[in-house]
Amino acid sequence: MKSKISVIVWNEYEHEQANPAIAAIYPDGIHGAIAAGLREVPGLNPGALPVEVTTATLDQPEHGLSEARLAECDVLLWWGHRAHGKVADAIVDRVQKRVLEGMGLIVLHSGHFSKIFRRMLGTNCSLKWREADEKERLWVVEPSHPIAAGLGEFFELPYEEMYGERFDVPAPDETVFISWFEGGEVFRSGLCWQRGHGRIFYFRPGHEAYPTYFDANVKRVLANAVQWANPRVQIVDVCPMSPALEPIAPKNISFAKAGVVQEKKDIE
């Protein structure tokens, strides 16, 4: 069993390079802020392990997600927005394979439209949105869930982008947070699924124009989510022809390859 959790924080890293105002908020990139928070805040899940956090960005070779690097990754956090279409399908295939094998995937904010999230959930993942500097109140609707450890009944972000229902995703296995916005909308903002052997968590806050990833409660959620998503198993998918475990008695009929039942005498 591993003594630490290997985490990769992936970010397309385009807003910070193109917009000085966003660069001023996140001088080390959104990925840098998230990674620093994970290093700073320990998870509160029972048996929480230390984390080893690195980052990857879209402009790196193979988007920073080589097969060798993903093979060692326990939990991948994904932030994307304006460059979903630039992500190579081969890398999406690679990440999907690792999630099905057991790697945890945490999708953040506008990553709801990322190729990998839509691939894993099989829906459009569309929603309503509005950017109006409004308050977001996140209600903890499953206070016993490991991702909610250490939080109160709710917490608030003074400025965020609004996401509103309907959120076009499959019914989650668990809903941890529901958001209310100053303009009146609500949104399922902390959702859990399992796909294959891997766990997936979607967490809504994190618009690039606001310092959301420096918030203490957001750091707490992500630290807990990493512990929750840490693989319980790592099982590579195979589809072998399996020999019989017990003797198979001779039959008086035989099935042709097309599935047609024939009398045994008809094929002798």
* Separation CA 57–CA 65 (nearest Å): 9
Give the pLDDT mean for 252-261: 68
- Look at residue 259 in the predicted model and tell me its pLDDT: 58
Element (H, E) at 245: none
- Look at residue 260 in the predicted model and tell me its pLDDT: 59
State whether residue 240 is helix, strand or coil.
Answer: coil
- Look at residue 61 in the predicted model and tell me its pLDDT: 98
- Look at residue 16 in the predicted model and tell me its pLDDT: 97
Radius of gyration of the chain (CA): 22
- Look at residue 268 in the predicted model and tell me its pLDDT: 47
Tell me the pLDDT of the chain averaged across its residues. Answer: 94
- Look at residue 196 in the predicted model and tell me its pLDDT: 97
Give the pLDDT mean for 183-196: 98
- CB count, 10 Å around CB of 178? 20
* Separation CA 203–CA 216 (nearest Å): 15
DSSP secondary structure code for residue 203 in this structure: E
The lowest-confidence range among 11-15, 158-162, 173-177, 232-236 is 232-236
Q: Where are the domains of the chain?
A: 5-122+191-229
- Look at residue 31 in the predicted model and tell me its pLDDT: 98
- Look at residue 107 in the predicted model and tell me its pLDDT: 99
On whether the 5-122+191-229 domain is CATH 3.40.50.40, my answer is no
CB 8 within 8 A of CB 56: yes
Task: Return the amino acid letter for 267.
Answer: I
* Separation CA 253–CA 265 (nearest Å): 8
- Look at residue 62 in the predicted model and tell me its pLDDT: 98
* pLDDT range class, residue 43, cuts 50, 70, 90: confident
CB burial readout 210-235, b (16+ within 10 A) else e: bebbebebbbbbbbbbbbbbbbeeee
H and E: helices and strands count for the chain: 7, 11
* Max Cα distance, the chain (Å): 82
Q: What is the DSSP string of 26-80?
A: -TTHHHHHHHHHHHHS---STT---EEEEEEETTSGGGG--HHHHHT-SEEEEE-
47-76 per-position pLDDT tens digit: 899 999 999 999 999 999 999 999 999 999
